[in-house]
Amino acid sequence: MDDLISRMTRRASMVASRQPQVRNLAPVPYTSDRAALWDSSPSVDIGDRIYSAYGSVGTLFAIVRQLFEAFAAVEWHLFQRTSVRDKTRRREILGSSFMDVWNMPNPFMTGRFFREACQQHLDLVGETDILLVTIGGIITEMWPVRPDRLKPVKHPTAFLTGWIYTGPDGEEVPLGLDQVLQIKLPNPGDPYRGMGPVQAMLSDIDAARYSAEWNRNFFINGARPGGIIKVDYKMDDEEFEAFVNRWRRQHQGTANAHRVAVLENATWQDVQFSMEDMQFVELRNLPRELIREAFAFPKPMLGAVDDVNRANAQAGKEVLAENHTVPRLARWADTLNAFLLPRFAGGSTMVMDYDDPRPMNRDDENARLTTQVNAFKTLIDAGVDPVDAAMVTGLPEMEMTAVAKGLQTAPTPQPGAPDTSSDTPAPASNRRIGNRRMPVIDAESWYAEERTAISA
């Protein structure tokens, strides 16, 4: 252990010595002394508590599962980096070594499962760490690892010089900075680690878990509170073991509930604590609300039906997408584009982005469509060309009929009158924008179809 730390420390010193003296990797020291280079906090024990709670507290399981499933269900795309602000005009890159690893990060995981596992760690412990496997400097595989098994190797000027992974059997594996990709929620007390909602309320989650175990043990013990057996003399070890084994055999378990006990030279004293005395119902319900509040999770998404209707159920879906899924996607996109994508061939000229997961609000969409059509009509009435009016209002290009324009049919030329046909603009169906002929769309039919699609 000491040799491993020494090697990592020497490596950190060598890295720091190669930096110009006028500028360190960290402008101020984030660790106090040599003793602080090794993070000795019992994070594995905390991780075990959190992961155990996830498997035993139903509210925590339901919230975290919906969060990482909603995140992993969103499609990602790779685009050519451009200065154009309009995202619809970006060129998507369909073939890339990065997308091959992104969609199949290792031989045993699909891309969606990999992202679910990583986001599950991030929601539970506030941090997810990805092990990058390289061959000749090229990333070929990505593996999720438990963050609580990774220890940062700190440095007073270089900030961070590596990681040490501790396996389940205690084996320690040193890892370089280029082998670990970390995504985390900011921790105000430790810049090297993340902090999530579960750490903020771990005691309340433990209370929910212990109350469930108390309820289970209540029925295992015959649906009766515990009690005390008092004897008027001191038993020897053999007599004590025989008495305890006989008592358990005859009275423990639901099958022996309410069985009459016969005690020799002993008396039974009840411990009078009922479920009402323990306020068991309140103890079970309180952590549920605290967990939901810690995650700011919408109540309708937990299956509650007591005060839920269609309106707030739809609002719950919008809140989940707007306040939870989008920030998680943005955090991943920020890390991928800054630290992972540039390590692939041509990655510096590419950018990763995701589909918008927010559901369509029918009322807002109808209001937007009505505003666009009214603005389009106002421009047409003012004499603006239909193509320009459609472009300004964000509507598809449409060929306007004479009736729709509010114009009269052109008069028939009289004999001897000057020929003005050359001054008449070409029909809208023959007009071109660049090298593309403008499609012929009837405005009224298009508007009716859009309203029908929105209502559906």
Q: Using 50, 70 and 90 to split pLDDT, how confident is the model at 20?
A: very low
d(CA 160, CA 10): 13
Q: Using 50, 70 and 90 to split pLDDT, how confident is the model at 19?
A: very low
Hey, is 231 helix, strand or coil?
A: strand
Q: Determine the pLDDT at residue 90.
A: 82
DSSP calls for 336-368:
IIIIIGGGSTTGGGEEEEE---PPP-HHHHHHH
Q: Determine the pLDDT at residue 299.
A: 80
Share of the chain above pLDDT 70, in %: 61
Q: Determine the pLDDT at residue 413.
A: 57
Task: Look up residue 201 and give its two tokens.
Answer: 């309320």
pLDDT at 24 over 60: no
d(CA 94, CA 77): 8
Which range, 34-38, 312-316, 361-365, has the best average confidence (pLDDT)?
312-316
Task: Look up residue 124 and give its two tokens.
Answer: 């539970």
d(CA 254, CA 252): 7
**In the chain, what are the domain boundaries?**
2-200, 227-270, 362-408+425-455
The model's pLDDT over 404-414, given as tens digits with 9 standing for 90+, comes to: 545 444 455 55
Question: Which region among 22-31, 158-167, 324-333 has the lowest average model confidence (pLDDT)?
Answer: 22-31
Contact predicate 193/187, CB 8 Å: yes
Task: Look up residue 309 and give its two tokens.
Answer: 């209707």
DSSP calls for 305-344:
-SS--HHHHHHHHHHHIIIIIHHHHHHHHHHIIIIIGGGS
Task: Look up residue 401 and give its two tokens.
Answer: 């009929």
pLDDT at 329 over 90: yes
Which range, 241-245, 340-344, 419-423, has the best average confidence (pLDDT)?
340-344
Contact predicate 93/119, CB 8 Å: no
Please, what is the Cα angle at 183 between 182 and 187, to 5 degrees? 105
Please, what is the Cα angle at 322 between 318 and 324, to 5 degrees? 110
The model's pLDDT over 150-201, given as tens digits with 9 standing for 90+, comes to: 999 988 888 889 999 999 888 999 999 999 999 999 999 889 999 988 888 8
pLDDT at 113 over 80: yes
- Listed in sequence order, the residues at least 6 apart from 404 whose beta carbon sits closer than 8 Å to its beta carbon are 380, 443, 444
pTM higher than the cut 0.75: no
Which range, 161-175, 228-242, 386-400, has the best average confidence (pLDDT)?
161-175
Tokens 């040599």: give the residue: 34
d(CA 93, CA 360): 27
- Listed in sequence order, the residues at least 6 apart from 59 whose beta carbon sits closer than 8 Å to its beta carbon are 208, 287, 288, 291, 292, 302
Looking at every residue in the chain, the average pLDDT score rounds to 75
d(CA 378, CA 367): 17
pLDDT at 115 over 80: yes
Q: Where are the alpha helices (DSSP H) in 161-201?
A: 197-200
